[in-house]
Every structure is written in structure tokens, then in C-alpha cells.
């Protein structure tokens, strides 16, 4: 089973949107996908119109001694199954304060065989014991990042956290990958930060970028996503392409590179040279970045 965490220490960078739509894309492509909401605030669960279940039917079971995800009846969504979040995660997070408390999720997954090809963890926008558990239990990490100053800083910090987990706690974790999200082709700043990420982190930046799309930011009826409501839209096209690209990398075991990241001088340079966004507001929007997949009409 492929286990992948979506992380970025900065909020609002498209983690939850990516988790939902990658799950749907992979699911509609025929893979058996389980999506677990590890954010105590449960935005993903609510985005899918699912009520908070009792803790024993939520992702909180990962941190219980005698239960595993196999004991939870997942919520069937369109193309994938969901293990919802619970507010109990907040209490659990406070109680997990010993060094070995980062191992709960990994141990829990070892104790059960889940009938899925892919397990995705959506995490909160912070370095918490829950997100560390997700990284320790994962073979892969994807960092969704909108190409703007703060999300990029958050992404760089997350990259360093994932590399630390890889070197100290989980040698099976491949190098973290980046997914550019909510990219606006009319913004010069977006182009500049995207270019910077490629310069510092290639080949870890997926070629597919997710463009801004209203269909992706909407909430639909219970358990459905943009794939059910806007199949031919650019949001679904981009996530289908990203899922396809991601799967190709992951199936080869992911990447292990010499990339160390971090060149603070680049940020200073960028802040000086980046044109104001309205300078090119009339520029045409981006074409799809990687026309790998197109929806069946």
C-alpha cells in the first residue's frame, strides 16, 4: 500500500483541496483509495459534508492501543473512502509528549492489512506530533505550495522537517515532493516563486501545476468532489494529471536526491526583482502544464 502524507507547515496552501482531489482522481482511475483526516479541526471532513463521528470511528484510533483503522467503518465518498477527523485528536495531541509517541500511526498500520492501494493523510498546518506520526508512517510526502512568499517559506520548512524525519525516524520515506497549487498565470509573483522552487528543488517539484479553479474551492453534496460536478473543468484536469505524475514517481519508489534546499538569498533577490502583480494582469492565464490525461466526455 502506498502511504502518502500531505504536509505544509503554512495553512491555506491547498493541502486539503489536494488531498480530496488526488484521492478522487486516483479513485476514479481505478485505485482503491483511503483518505484519513488527521487535522483536529476537521476541515477536510467538513468539506466533504461528513459529520464528526464518535472518536472510535475516526482517525483518532491510530493513537489507541487496541484499535486500528481496520476497525473503523470508513465513509464512502465518490471514488474513495474517508476516515473522518475527530476533536478527540486535540486531546490526544496534548497527551502525546514522549519521543516514542511519533510511532503510533506506523505501529497501528503494521497491525492491520487494509484493502486499499493508496492511503493519504491530510495534516494540519503545523509541526505537531500528529503530522510527525503521518510522516513516520509514510513512504511519501507531498508538499502543496502556492507560489507566494509565505507558503514557499512554509514549504521549505516542511521540506527540512521531512528530511529530518527521513534521516532520524523513517529511512523508508522518499524525498518530499512539491505540488504547485492555486497558480494564477496572470501573476508575475507566482511565476517568479514557481521558477525559484524549480531552481532549488528540481527534480522534486511535480511538472503538473494546479491552476486556480472555482470548481475546486466549492463544497458539494456529501462525499462528492469537483470530479462529480465539473469533470471537464481545469481543476479536475490538473488534479488528474498530478495524480498520474505522482503515481509514476511513487511506483518507482519515489526519489532520493542530493537536493538540500534552502537558499535564503533567493528570497531576498526575489523580493527585489518580482514585478508587482498588476504589471501583467492582462497576460493570458496558464495553459495546462502537463496534458497527460483528459477526461472521457
Ligand X SMILES: Nc1ncnc2c1ncn2[C@@H]1O[C@H](COP(=O)(O)OP(=O)(O)O)[C@@H](O)[C@H]1O
* Chain residues that interact with ligand X, rule: CB under 6 A: 8, 11-17, 43, 125, 181-182, 210, 212-213, 216-217
The entry of ligand X, Mg ion, none that residue 58 binds, CB within 5 to 8 Å by partner kind: none
Report which residue's Cβ sits closest to Mg ion.
Answer: 16
- In angstroms, the CA 248 to CA 98 distance is 37
- 281 DSSP 8-state letter: T
Choose which of 10, 43, 159, 243 interacts with Mg ion (CB under 5 A).
43
Q: In this structure, what C-alpha cell is assigned to residue 26?
A: 486516483
Which residue matches cell numbers 526575489?
270
**Cα of 128 vs its chain's centroid, Å:** 16
Question: Which positions from 104 through 133 interact with Mg ion, judged by CB under 5 A?
Answer: none
Q: Is position 16 an interface residue for Mg ion (rule: CB under 5 A)?
A: yes
Q: In this structure, what C-alpha cell is assigned to residue 191?
A: 511565476
Choose which of 10, 15, 28, 211 interacts with Mg ion (CB under 5 A).
15
**Measured from the CB of residue 171, what is the shortest distance to ligand X in angstroms?**
27
Burial class, 65, CB count within 10 angstroms (exposed 0-12 / middle 13-18 / buried 19+): exposed
Q: Is position 9 an interface residue for Mg ion (rule: CB under 5 A)?
A: no
User: Of 38-46, 159-167, 186-194, 213-221, which part binds Mg ion (CB under 5 A)?
Assistant: 38-46
- 32 DSSP 8-state letter: -
Q: In this structure, what C-alpha cell is assigned to residue 61?
A: 484510533
Point out which residues pair with 3 in neighbouring strands. 119
Distances (CA, A) of 233 to 96, 215, 220, 226, 271: 43, 8, 15, 8, 33
- The SS3 of residue 18 is helix
Q: How many CB atoms lie within 10 A of CB 69?
A: 20
Question: SS3 string of 185-241?
Answer: CCCHHHHHHHHHHHHHHCCCECCCCCECCHHHHCCCCCCCCHHHHCCCCHHHHHHHH
**Measured from the CB of residue 238, what is the shortest distance to ligand X in angstroms?**
7
**Measured from the CB of residue 65, what is the shortest distance to ligand X in angstroms?**
30
**Measured from the CB of residue 239, what is the shortest distance to ligand X in angstroms?**
9
- The SS3 of residue 42 is coil
User: Of 8-16, 27-35, 102-110, 249-257, which part binds Mg ion (CB under 5 A)?
Assistant: 8-16
Our CB check for ligand X shows the closer of 33 and 155 to be 155
User: Of 15-23, 149-157, 189-197, 224-232, which part binds Mg ion (CB under 5 A)?
Assistant: 15-23
**Measured from the CB of residue 160, what is the shortest distance to ligand X in angstroms?**
18
**Cα of 50 vs its chain's centroid, Å:** 19
Our CB check for Mg ion shows the closer of 85 and 289 to be 85
Our CB check for ligand X shows the closer of 102 and 182 to be 182
Our CB check for ligand X shows the closer of 16 and 208 to be 16
Q: How many residues bind Mg ion (CB under 5 A)?
A: 3
- In angstroms, the CA 109 to CA 170 distance is 14
**Measured from the CB of residue 272, what is the shortest distance to ligand X in angstroms?**
28
The entry of Mg ion, ligand X, none that residue 288 binds, CB within 5 to 8 Å by partner kind: none
Q: Is position 181 an interface residue for Mg ion (rule: CB under 5 A)?
A: no
Residue ranges that bind Mg ion, judged by CB under 5 A? 15-16, 43
Amino acid at each position: 500500500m502506498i502511504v502518502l502524507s500531505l504536509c505544509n507547515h503554512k495553512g491555506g496552501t491547498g493541502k486539503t483541496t489536494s488531498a480530496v482531489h488526488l484521492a478522487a482522481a486516483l479513485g476514479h482511475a481505478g485505485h482503491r483509495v483511503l483518505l484519513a483526516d488527521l487535522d483536529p479541526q476537521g476541515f477536510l471532513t467538513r468539506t466533504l459534508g461528513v459529520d464528526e463521528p464518535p472518536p472510535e470511528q475516526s482517525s483518532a484510533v491510530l493513537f489507541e492501543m487496541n484499535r486500528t483503522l481496520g476497525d473503523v467503518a470508513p465513509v464512502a465518498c465518490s471514488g474513495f473512502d474517508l476516515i473522518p477527523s475527530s476533536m478527540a485528536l486535540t486531546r490526544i495531541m496534548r497527551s502525546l509528549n514522549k519521543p516514542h509517541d511519533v510511532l503510533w500511526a506506523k505501529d497501528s498500520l503494521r497491525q492491520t492489512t487494509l484493502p486499499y492501494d493508496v492511503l493519504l493523510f491530510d495534516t494540519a498546518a503545523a509541526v505537531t506530533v500528529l503530522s510527525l506520526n503521518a510522516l513516520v508512517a509514510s513512504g511519501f510526502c507531498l508538499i502543496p505550495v502556492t507560489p507566494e512568499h509565505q507558503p514557499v517559506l512554509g514549504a521549505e520548512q516542511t521540506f527540512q522537517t521531512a528530511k529530518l524525519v527521513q534521516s532520524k525516524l523513517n529511512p523508508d520515506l522518499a524525498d518530499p515532493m512539491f505540488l504547485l497549487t492555486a497558480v494564477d498565470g496572470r501573476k508575475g509573483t507566482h511565476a517568479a516563486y514557481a521558477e525559484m522552487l524549480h531552481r532549488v528543488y528540481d527534480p522534486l517539484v511535480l511538472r503538473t501545476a494546479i491552476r486556480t479553479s472555482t470548481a475546486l474551492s466549492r463544497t458539494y453534496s456529501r462525499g462528492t468532489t469537483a470530479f462529480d460536478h465539473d469533470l471537464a473543468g481545469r481543476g479536475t484536469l490538473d488534479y488528474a494529471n498530478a495524480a498520474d505524475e505522482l503515481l509514476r514517481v511513487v511506483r518507482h519508489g519515489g526519489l532520493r536526491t542530493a537536493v538540500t534546499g534552502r537558499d535564503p538569498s533567493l528570497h531576498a533577490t526575489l523580493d527585489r526583482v518580482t514585478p508587482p502583480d498588476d504589471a501583467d494582469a492582462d497576460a493570458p492565464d496558464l495553459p495546462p502544464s502537463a496534458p497527460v490525461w483528459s477526461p472521457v466526455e
